[in-house]
Homo-oligomer: A and B are copies of this chain.
Amino acid sequence: MSKQISSVWTREPRPARTPGRSREEIVRATLDLLDTEGLDGLSMRKLGARLGSGATTIYWYVENKDELLELAYNEVWGEIVLPDPEEPGWREAVSAFAHSMRAAMLRHPWVGSLIGRLPALGPNALSLADRLRKAFTLAGFKGLDIDYANAALTAYVFGMVIPEIAWEASMGGEELDQESMNETFQKVAKDFPDLLERVVEVNAKISDTDALRETSFAFGLATMLDGLEARLRA
């Protein structure tokens, strides 16, 4: 047996004898804590308290905190849906997948800080990759192109949503009114008049920043899908 990637998914879990506590229960509590208090709010002691147990009890079910995060991460992947590509056509299916992925990430903003640290090797991530592969196969991609298309699409979603999360986080949960927004930008971008002018202009025209972000997301998604379709015809 050679060297392995260290991950919850590469070692045998402790044989579940279904006692009082279970790994499943712990993961659920972890998700709760992450969603309400964020990545920094998750500590073994707090998690123990929430479970009505000592902090170190958790280490019976899980090797370390990173494994816990891998398990929580896996749950998020489980929330992403990919419609059957046979029915509405691959483009619609894949597009729905992208939107669902974005929604799941925004529901659990702490994933934004995990994607660069933990590989997605959990069963939910793999299952999704498997189904996405099928969709692209059905679309007509062949050989490695299937995997490339796979990677490109998920990359786009990742890349759009992760900065969205950062942006949201930096506002500390409070909605920023337009005036504050412009003021911030005036301070920050004072050496880039073109950029500044654009931002102020856009802010004046479009007040709903959520809608703007969705539009931007849809634009890039359509662009990516157009590109994929073009590659299909080539």
Residues of A near any B CB (own CB < 8 A): 1-7, 9-10, 109, 111-113, 115-121, 123, 126-127, 129-130, 133-134, 144-145, 147-149, 151-152, 154-160, 162-163, 165-167, 169-172, 174, 176-177, 179-180, 183-184, 187-189, 191-192, 194-195, 198, 202, 215-216, 219-220, 222-228, 230-231
Contact = CB atoms under 8 A, between A and B. Distances in A.
- Top 4 A-B residue pairs of the complex, sorted by shortest distance between their CB atoms: A112-B116, A159-B159, A152-B220, A155-B159
Contacts of A158: 155, 158-159, 162-163
B192 A127 contact: yes
A117 B113 contact: yes
A188 B127 CA distance: 11
Contacts of A3: 174, 176, 180
Contact of A152 (B111, B133, B147, B223): B223
A195 B117 contact: no
Contacts of A148: 215-216, 219-220
A195 B219 CA distance: 30
Contacts of A7: 170, 188
A5 B176 contact: yes
A188 B222 CA distance: 33
B220 A231 contact: no
8 contacts: A3-B180, A5-B170, A6-B170, A116-B162, A116-B165, A126-B189, A155-B156, A158-B163
B4 A184 contact: yes
B226 A119 contact: no
A115 B166 contact: yes
Contact of A231 (B134, B152, B167, B226): B226
Nearest to A234: B226
